[in-house]
Every structure is written in C-alpha cells, then in structure tokens.
Amino acid sequence: MKPDLWGCKINQGEDAQVLFPPEVIIEIKALACEMPRNMGLPLSRLFIPDLQREAIQQGIVASISGTTIWRWLSRDAIKPWRYRSWIFPRDPHFLYKASRVLSLYEGFWENKPLGRKDYVISADEKTSIQARKRKHPSVAPGPNQPMRIEHEYIRKGALSYLAAWDVHRAKIFGRCETKSGILAFDRLVDQVMSQEPYCSANRVFWIVDNGSSHRGERFIRRMKERWPTIIPVHLPIHASWLNQIEIYFSIVQRKVLTPNDFSGTPCLEKSLLEFERLYQTIAAPFEWKFTRSDLKKLMAKLFVAQQDIIAV
C-alpha cells in the first residue's frame, strides 16, 4: 500500500509544489528500464506519456507530470524511447579473421612489416542504386530557403557501383555495372591489377566481405589463377564495419546520392565516376583508430554480455 502523501501537494494553493520521496523516483526509473512486454504492455518501447500512465495505474503516484518524469530520467541519461541494433559475432574465428585485417591496416602481416612492394586493397560493391527522376525540377537553395526536392519521382533504372580503396596510398578505383556478381567483381579486380604499381607488386592483399561474388575458397582459387600475387583476406561474417571501403561508400551516399535526383542511369554513372575523380584530388588515408587491442577488449566485453543474456 503506497503512502497517501506520495504525489500530494505541500499546500492547496494554485502554485503548490509536489514532493516525491526518493523511492518513487527509483520506481519510475525502474519502470523506464523494463521491456514493455514484461509489463504486459502491447508496446515496442516506452515514451514519457506511457510511463506517466503506468506509474499512476500501478499506484506508484496519485498524479505526476511528464516533465517531472523527463527530468528524473535525464539525470541518468535514460531514454527508453531510443534503441540501437546490435549483433553478436557469430563467426567462431571472428577474433582471428578481424585481427588479420586490423594488422594489415597497421602495416603488418603475420606479425611481420609489409614490404615496400606490398599493397592493401579494401573492396566491395554498392548494389541496386536507383536513378530517381523527380516529377518537377529541383530548386536551388537561397536566403532562408533550403534546396527543395520534389517528393514524387519516376524510377529510371538502377546500377551497381563497385569500388576498391588502396588503404595506405589513398587511391580509389571504381566502376559501374548493370548488376553485381562474380564477373562484375572480377572486372574490378582486373581494372586495379592491370596497372602499376599493382601489376608488378610482390603481394596485393584484397580485403573483402562474404558477399556472393567474393565468397569462400572458390573466390580465393579464382583470384590466385588470374593474379598469383593476390592474397584474398576475408572479413568475419557480419563485420563489414571493419572494411574501409564502407567509409568511402558512406561519403558517396552523403555527397552524391542524397538527395537522389538523376534523369537516368547514364547521369547516375557519370556523377559517381566524376565524384570519384574529384575525391581523388583531396583523398588521404583514413584515420583508422580501432586496433587489435581494442578488438580484444570488445570481444571480452561481448562475451560477458552474451553470458548475461544466456543466463536470463
């Protein structure tokens, strides 16, 4: 039984102040840290009005304002309306595979420094990029007026953009294809390997994820047959965030593809390749700060978290 005074006013004046003991604050914060389904609520996440209503229905308080709840939660940075997706490493050799990639970024392979004629390439494809022609012309920005883009559009086809990034030399190589696949990716490899300094290199390490066009031992054999100096290095499953080419793709997404307003795939291809040439004039190696030591700490932390979840 809750004390009658919880949530009551000091006086009966119009500007009366409501006092809540620490126990009430703790209980409402505990509510905010519960999964809604565990509370019997058909909600995916909790917002302030939900917590306000639940606190009253459960008899924690007689009445309370949303502002008060928000103020209490903000003290501990509790935001139950926000969420973040995550995934545990599922590759049993995650640490080994990821460490190899991070070693290459640091300039090492099998604990030995890379040679003067060794190169590290990070590659992938950005698939199904649509060309969307807006039904009315876009309007340039002006004073107190942002750029305006017509909401409705006509689909004018799609293409795939394949790119390879020289990690230490900050060189970008890209090409557009009507669709991705083994042949398309092989053409990207040939595009890079047929020019200097790669065609006369001692070793060229190609960092790739586990996409269908460069997956497994078949890809390794195929590359070795075409270019004997290539050493394919596969990322662990669900570890594209370790692939530096994804940083370049994120730049392309922001600088070229958003907003998407192209008259057709020829215009889209022209923009992608012209941006590639523009970016090359200012490119510098990415400041990659996530090290093998950081990886080991992260894996240890994830292991503890996974054990806690299994225990629950």
All structural domains of the chain, each given as residue ranges with its CATH number in brackets, are: 1-84 (no CATH), 94-137+149-295 (3.30.420.10)
Cis check for the bond before 21: say yes or no (omega within 30 of 0).
no
C-beta separation of 176 from 160 below 8 A? yes
Which pLDDT score, from 0 to 100, does residue 81 have?
Answer: 96
> pLDDT digits over 44-87, tens only?
999 999 999 999 999 999 999 999 999 999 999 999 999 988 77
Q: Which residue has the higher pLDDT, 18 or 98?
A: 98
Which pLDDT score, from 0 to 100, does residue 200 have?
Answer: 96
Helix axes 216-226, 182-193, angle to 10 degrees: 40
With 50 as the cut, is the pLDDT of residue 14 above it? no
* Side chain identity at residue 240, one-letter code: S
With 70 as the cut, is the pLDDT of residue 308 above it? no
> pLDDT digits over 237-293, tens only?
989 999 999 999 999 999 999 999 999 999 999 999 999 999 999 999 999 999 999
For residues 184 and 177, give the distance between their C-alpha atoms in angstroms, rounded to a whole number: 7
With 60 as the cut, is the pLDDT of residue 8 above it? no
Q: Of 3-7, 109-113, 213-217, 286-290, which gets the smallest average pLDDT? A: 3-7
> pLDDT digits over 117-147, tens only?
999 999 999 999 999 999 999 999 999 999 9
For residues 294 and 302, give the distance between their C-alpha atoms in angstroms, rounded to a whole number: 12
Which pLDDT score, from 0 to 100, does residue 5 have?
Answer: 43
Which pLDDT score, from 0 to 100, does residue 16 have?
Answer: 46
The model's confidence at residue 1, banded by pLDDT at 50, 70 and 90, is very low
Supply the DSSP symbol for 94.
H
The model's confidence at residue 186, banded by pLDDT at 50, 70 and 90, is very high
Q: Which two tokens stand for residue 227?
A: 């270019």
C-beta separation of 102 from 291 below 8 A? yes
Which pLDDT score, from 0 to 100, does residue 203 have?
Answer: 98
